[in-house]
Amino acid sequence: MAAQVKSKQRVEEHGEVFTNEREVNAMLDMVKQETERIDSRFLEPACGDGNFLSEVLRRKLAVVTERYGKSQLEYERYTFVAVSSIYGVDILQDNVEECRERLYGIVKNAYEQQFKDDCRPEVLDSIRYLLAKNILCGDALTLTTNNGEPIVFPEWSLVMGSKVKRRDFTFAALLNVSAEAPTFDMLDEIDQDEMGKIIPKPIKEYPMTSFLEVAKYE
Ligand SMILES: C[S@@+](CC[C@H](N)C(=O)[O-])C[C@H]1O[C@@H](n2cnc3c(N)ncnc32)[C@H](O)[C@@H]1O
């Protein structure tokens, strides 16, 4: 079993005690259907080295393999969707790096097991880029990065086959979303300010691109 504590100092300063596999699985089983939905969005605001996120990814990829394992392009597209919908924040940079590396390793192993020598490096490059944008170092209480900038998450939507649309949102804007979805009648009565609270506005929109070329965005 992996160690649950790295050091006494980290426990004292950051409350860092990792959750063991049995508990991770028991908790994820409470939302089992969501963990097996390829495009279901998960955001963990204190993700550590990714105990929860890696298990979510494993479950999603098992579905990708089962459904699309016979078609390489479909497998690659849905692997992209599975990873693109997983988000994490941690205040400690080494945890963030370990988490990204761990998720990357899970994708790479699954992909290589399925397609062996036919694996395309550009698919793995896109996955690396997704993880660099979705798993971020910052403070989930102040919603800022360690430089004091707002934490920004991209939303990735696969549209028109292999094309991807990216829109960036601040973490703060995402959390301001009203928990109650408006009815159509209510929409007529809501002014623009109210609307902004219900539907967060992206701070940046990007032109559509192939899922294999997202790394060219910046
Ligand atoms: C109890 S551990 C849980 C880690 C992981 N979720 C797990 O279950 O294994 C808490 C994590 O939160 C991080 N953390 C502490 N304060 C934080 C904050 N303000 N914002 C983001 N992460 C924070 C710590 O670095 C640590 O990795």
Contact criterion met (CB below 8 Å) for 106 and 61: yes
Predicted confidence (pLDDT) at residue 33 exceeds the cutoff of 50: yes
Ligand 1 geometric centre to CA of 198 (Å): 28
Cα 215 to chain centroid, rounded:
16
What residue owns the CA closest to ligand 1's atom 13?
A: 46
38 vs 195: which has the higher pLDDT: 38
- Cα(112)–Cα(153) distance, integer angstroms: 28
Ligand 1 geometric centre to CA of 51 (Å): 11
Ligand 1 geometric centre to CA of 16 (Å): 6
Ligand 1: residues within 6 Å at CB? 14-19, 44-48, 51-52, 89-92, 95, 139-141
- Cα(213)–Cα(114) distance, integer angstroms: 22
Quote the tokens at residue 149.
Answer: 């900038």
What are the tens digits of pLDDT across the range 94-107?
Answer: 999 999 999 999 99
- Cα(38)–Cα(26) distance, integer angstroms: 20
Contact criterion met (CB below 8 Å) for 96 and 136: yes
95 C-beta neighbours (distance < 10 Å), count: 24
What are the tens digits of pLDDT across the range 132-165?
Answer: 999 999 999 999 999 999 999 999 999 988 999 9
Contact criterion met (CB below 8 Å) for 11 and 5: yes
Ligand 1 geometric centre to CA of 149 (Å): 19
Ligand 1 atom with least separation from CA of 48: 27
Ligand 1 geometric centre to CA of 80 (Å): 26
Domain residue ranges in the chain = 17-217
What residue owns the CA closest to ligand 1's atom 9?
A: 18
pLDDT confidence bin for 3, thresholds 50/70/90: confident
Rounded to an integer, the average pLDDT of 21-30 is 98
- Cα(51)–Cα(65) distance, integer angstroms: 21
Report which secondary-structure segment, H or E, holds 53.
helix 51-68
pTM: 0.91
What residue owns the CA closest to ligand 1's atom 26?
A: 16
